[in-house]
């Protein structure tokens, strides 16, 4: 009775022992956040209203940031990325894997119970027993093994929290991958539209060059122009035709890339021909401090810090004794020599008690493990701050690109207009016989070069607009991460 009372007392002590969390509580380290972006245009600039909107637009608030471009075909393609892109499917599977890891860690809070029923038939030696005894015997066993470790120092709870925070990292990485592929598709889409614009422009140029070739042929037939003029006009025309054909290569490659990003084979998708015409829409920038909550890669780095902090607590818990409930060599169970009496109360047996274990010498292994965990945490802090700095750099780069390219576009448009005027004057002078055809060809080449450059600048502006949206997180924010409590509960 005394032994039973002691055993029950120890068991109750083990079960009711209040847990004590050892190790540091996590607090997000500070990160550099300037009061404003350097590359934003001045308040009195005409461009200021385009990027200084305080609140995100409806499209960006929903995460469907591509809708601000008002392009139905782009909207359709972007919707396919989340549905069919295989890299995103892989990231989603990795997130599900991380969620199940939380449930695995949580299971350590509860006892582990195993059952191993067996029926053993044994026979004794005839010469080793007294006369009249049975030679054989059947034993029915139903042993139940129970083991449970009390989370006295919080190492199990910290493991669960670390797993939940790692799952948050996985979810943030999934969103970062989704945003990256969506931005890549949008960039390829507008690059394709830019190629369509250049094709459209070259088609007009070819038509113009055909008219100029006819002009030189008519003048040659009238005896007022040389065969050299005709040859030069023919060369100019054929060169433009060759350039027009060459754009087909780039367009095909962009179309194939878009198909793969949308999760389709290139043969399954075709993008309609439509020259680029729109200009970058206004993008809500907000204040720099909000960037820490809007970018999934920054959220991932921050959650990695939190998980690394839990590892320090787990390493510290190893310095304290482990206390738990265990079954000894004779576990709980039922045993009988009769099958009919096997599952009955008199057939019970048990041996259970509370135990503790403590490492008294490990040659500095636990101390080294703790120091290793602290160093790993310090590394995640540095990575987090570097990710934040990189995020600010990308926003500043995109803002600068948009502002400077807009100014360049205005200058290039003026250059196109001037080149067109110069060509008109040269054409008039050529018809009047005051200049040779080489002057006309030179002006044609300058005009074509300026037109191509203007289209390139427009395409670059659209790409910079997409890069800015991506750098700002694409309408995502940390509130969309599953909480630690949700992950712990398996919801």
- Domain spans in the chain, listed from the N-terminal domain onward: 22-110+153-320+368-489
Residues 401, 283: Cα–Cα separation, whole Å: 13
Place of tokens 């005709």: 230
pLDDT one-digit tens code per residue, 175-226: 999 999 999 999 999 999 999 999 999 999 999 999 999 999 999 999 888 9
Is it true that domain 22-110+153-320+368-489 has CATH number 1.20.1600.10?
yes
Say if CB 254 and CB 194 are below 8 A apart.
Answer: no
Residues 391, 61: Cα–Cα separation, whole Å: 19
Within 8 A by CB and 6+ apart from 173, the residues are 91, 94, 95, 296, 297, 300
pLDDT given at position 16: 47
Please say if the pLDDT value at position 350 is more than 90. no
Tokens at 141, concatenated: 């066993």
Instruction: Give the CA radius of gyration of the chain.
Output: 38
Q: How confident is the model at residue 18 (pLDDT cuts 50, 70, 90)?
A: very low
Q: Among candidates 358, 316, 285, 336, which has minimal Cα distance to 60?
A: 285
- Which one is predicted more confidently, 56 or 395? 395
pLDDT one-digit tens code per residue, 269-321: 999 999 998 999 988 888 888 899 999 999 999 999 999 999 999 999 888 88
Place of tokens 């190629």: 195
Q: Which residues on adjacent β-strands are paired with residue 356?
A: 323
Q: What is the DSSP string of 139-204?
A: EEEEEEEEEEE--TTSHHHHHHHHHHHHHHHHHHHHHHHHHHHHHHHHHHHHHHHHHHHHHHHHHH
3-class DSSP state of 349: strand
Query: Could you give the percent of the chain with pLDDT greater than 90?
Result: 59
Residue range 361-390: mean pLDDT, rounded = 92
Residues 183, 98: Cα–Cα separation, whole Å: 26
pLDDT given at position 62: 66
Instruction: Kindly report which listed range (296-300, 363-367, 487-491) carries the lowest average pLDDT score.
Output: 487-491
Q: How confident is the model at residue 359 (pLDDT cuts 50, 70, 90)?
A: confident
Q: How confident is the model at residue 125 (pLDDT cuts 50, 70, 90)?
A: low
Residues 360, 366: Cα–Cα separation, whole Å: 11
pLDDT given at position 54: 43
Tell me the C-alpha to C-alpha distance, in Å, between residue 268 and each of 78, 181, 251. Answer: 16, 19, 16
Tokens at 214, concatenated: 């006819």
Residue range 249-269: mean pLDDT, rounded = 96
Residues 421, 439: Cα–Cα separation, whole Å: 14
3-class DSSP state of 114: strand
- Which one is predicted more confidently, 34 or 62? 34
As a whole number, the mean pLDDT across the chain is 85
Say if CB 144 and CB 333 are below 8 A apart.
Answer: yes
pLDDT given at position 420: 96
Please say if the pLDDT value at position 33 is more than 60. yes
pLDDT one-digit tens code per residue, 129-168: 555 555 577 777 777 777 788 888 888 899 999 999 999 9
Task: Tell how strand 322-327 and strand 332-336 pair up.
Answer: unpaired
- Per-residue H/E/C for 321-343: CEEEEEECCCCEEEEECCCCCCC
Please say if the pLDDT value at position 71 is more than 60. yes
Tokens at 216, concatenated: 């030189």
Please say if the pLDDT value at position 335 is more than 70. no
Please say if the pLDDT value at position 387 is more than 80. yes
Please say if the pLDDT value at position 6 is more than 50. no
- Which one is predicted more confidently, 408 or 479? 408
pLDDT given at position 53: 44
Residues 225, 437: Cα–Cα separation, whole Å: 9
Q: Which residues on adjacent β-strands are paired with residue 142?
A: 334
Please say if the pLDDT value at position 7 is more than 90. no
- Which one is predicted more confidently, 57 or 453? 453
Tokens at 54, concatenated: 């305080």
Q: What is the DSSP string of 219-244?
A: HHHTTSS-HHHHHHHHHHHHHHHHHH
pTM equals 0.85
CB atoms inside a 10 Å sphere around CB 312: 22
CA dihedral for 192, 193, 197, 199, sign (positive or negative): positive
């Amino acid at each position: 009775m005394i032994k039973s009372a002691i055993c029950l007392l120890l068991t109750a002590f083990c079960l009711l022992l209040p847990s004590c969390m050892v190790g540091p509580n996590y607090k997000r380290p500070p990160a550099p956040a300037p009061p404003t972006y350097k590359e934003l245009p001045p308040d009195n600039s005409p461009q200021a209203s385009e990027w200084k909107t305080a609140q995100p637009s409806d499209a960006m608030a929903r995460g469907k940031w591509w809708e601000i471009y008002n392009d139905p075909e782009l909207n359709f393609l972007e919707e396919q990325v989340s549905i069919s892109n295989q890299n995103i499917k892989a990231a989603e599977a990795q997130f599900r894997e991380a969620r199940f890891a939380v449930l695995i860690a949580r299971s350590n809070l509860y006892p582990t119970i195993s059952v191993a029923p067996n029926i053993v038939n044994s026979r004794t030696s005839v010469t080793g027993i007294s006369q009249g005894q049975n030679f054989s015997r059947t034993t029915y066993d139903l042993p139940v093994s129970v083991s449970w470790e009390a989370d006295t120092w919080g190492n199990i709870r910290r493991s669960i929290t670390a797993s939940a925070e790692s799952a948050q990292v996985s979810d943030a990485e999934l969103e970062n991958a989704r945003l990256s592929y969506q931005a890549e598709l949008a960039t390829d889409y507008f690059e394709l539209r830019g190629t369509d614009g250049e094709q459209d422009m070259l088609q007009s140029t070819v038509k113009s060059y055909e008219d100029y070739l006819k002009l030189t042929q008519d003048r040659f037939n009238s005896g007022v122009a040389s065969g050299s003029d005709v040859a030069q006009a023919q060369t100019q025309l054929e060169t433009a035709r060759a350039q027009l054909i060459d754009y087909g290569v780039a367009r095909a490659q962009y179309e194939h890339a878009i198909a793969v990003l949308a999760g389709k084979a290139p043969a399954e998708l075709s993008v309609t021909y439509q020259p680029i015409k729109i200009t970058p829409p206004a993008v809500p920038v907000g204040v720099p401090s909000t960037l820490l909550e809007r970018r999934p890669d920054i959220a991932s780095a921050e959650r990695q810090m939190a998980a690394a902090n839990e590892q320090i607590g787990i390493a510290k818990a190893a310095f304290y004794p482990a206390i738990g409930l265990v079954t000894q060599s004779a576990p709980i169970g039922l045993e009988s020599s009769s099958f009919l009496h096997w599952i009955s109360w008199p057939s019970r047996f048990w041996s259970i008690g509370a135990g503790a274990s403590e490492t008294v010498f490990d040659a500095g292994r636990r101390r080294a493990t703790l120091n290793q965990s602290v160093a790993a945490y310090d590394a995640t802090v540095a990575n987090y701050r570097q990710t934040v700095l990189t995020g600010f750099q990308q926003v500043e780069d995109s803002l600068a690109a948009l502002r400077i390219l807009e100014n360049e576009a205005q200058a290039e448009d003026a250059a196109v207009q001037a080149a067109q005027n110069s060509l008109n004057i040269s054409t008039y002078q050529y018809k009047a016989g005051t200049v040779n055809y080489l002057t006309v060809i030179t002006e044609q080449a300058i005009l074509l070069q300026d037109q191509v450059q203007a289209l390139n600048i427009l395409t670059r502006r659209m790409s910079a607009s997409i890069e800015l949206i991506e750098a700002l997180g694409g309408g995502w924010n940390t509130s969309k991460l599953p909480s630690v409590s949700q992950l712990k509960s398996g919801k």
